[in-house]
Amino acid sequence: DTEVTQTPKHLVMGMTNKKSLKCEQHMGHRAMYWYKQKAKKPPELMFVYSYEKLSINESVPSRFSPECPNSSLLNLHLHALQPEDSALYLCASSQDRGSGELFFGEGSRLTVL
Amino acid sequence: AQSVTQLGSHVSVSEGALVLLRCNYSSSVPPYLFWYVQYPNQGLQLLLKYTTGATLVKGINGFEAEFKKSETSFHLTKPSAHMSDAAEYFCAVSDFSHAGKSTFGDGTTLTVKP
């Protein structure tokens, strides 16, 4: 069983909708990540939070807005997405930003119509 | 800069045969190296990792990998493939100069034939 929990598992939204993806971990990890993964491709880093502060933003479009309410929770707010944003969105955590070992959730499969 | 090259996007083996998935890395400082497995419609799961110390590392499900600095390689092996090993495998590198950023290879799809 994964110790990183993501909800929802599946999400279908129109281009004018606003939705959010949620991620939770209770391992005491201090770094949390959002990745985007297209079919048959490796995960692409989007954002990194370290000690609840945004430390890396990989030039992600502003229609994706991350939020880290506390050390256990990570949200990704979605607004005005495009069909090409359809992908598997993976949340991960690590003990700290430099430890390298990532613990992934099962992902949220997003379809934008 | 750090990078990972996985040789062979598809590998097919028979059940019971040796599994060998190849990974070469580039890193300007001593790297941390990882192998992850991804089953369909799931997230990535860590198979094994090399940080420091023993260069032969053992992981879950009977997999192991050997860190060879002189060859800049970290190949993944399993003596005897099982049908349940069919999945996507990613090699990844991380180092302190890129803290927080793991670089993944393009992945290798392992097919196991009965």
Are the CB atoms for B28 and B38 separated by under 8 Å? Answer: no
pLDDT tens by residue, A79-101? 999 999 999 999 999 988 777 78
**Which of A10-19, A66-75, A95-104 is predicted least confidently?**
A95-104
Q: Is B21 helix (H, G, I), strand (E, B) or coil?
A: strand
A109 falls in which pLDDT band (50, 70, 90)? very high
Q: Is A110 helix (H, G, I), strand (E, B) or coil?
A: strand
Q: How many other β-carbons are positioned within 10 Å of the β-carbon of residue B53?
A: 7
Nearest Cα residue in chain A from B107: A42
Q: What integer pLDDT is reported at residue B100 of this predicted model?
A: 63
Alpha-carbon radius of gyration of chain A: 13
Are the CB atoms for B75 and B56 separated by under 8 Å? Answer: no
Q: Is A2 helix (H, G, I), strand (E, B) or coil?
A: coil
Pairing of strands A108-112, A10-13: parallel
Q: What integer pLDDT is reported at residue B44 of this predicted model?
A: 95
Nearest Cα residue in chain A from B38: A106
pLDDT tens by residue, B15-57? 999 999 999 999 877 789 999 999 998 999 999 999 888 899 9
Cβ of A100 and B44 within 8 Å? no
Are the CB atoms for B97 and B26 separated by under 8 Å? Answer: no
Q: Which of residues 15-74 of A touch B (CB under 8 A)?
A: 31, 33, 40-43, 45, 48, 50, 55-56
Cβ of A100 and B43 within 8 Å? no
pLDDT tens by residue, B99-113? 668 899 999 999 999
Residue with tokens 């391992």: A27
Beta carbon pairs, A and B, within 8 Å: 65
Q: What integer pLDDT is reported at residue A99 of this predicted model?
A: 75
Q: How far apart are CA A89 and CA A19, in angstroms?
A: 13
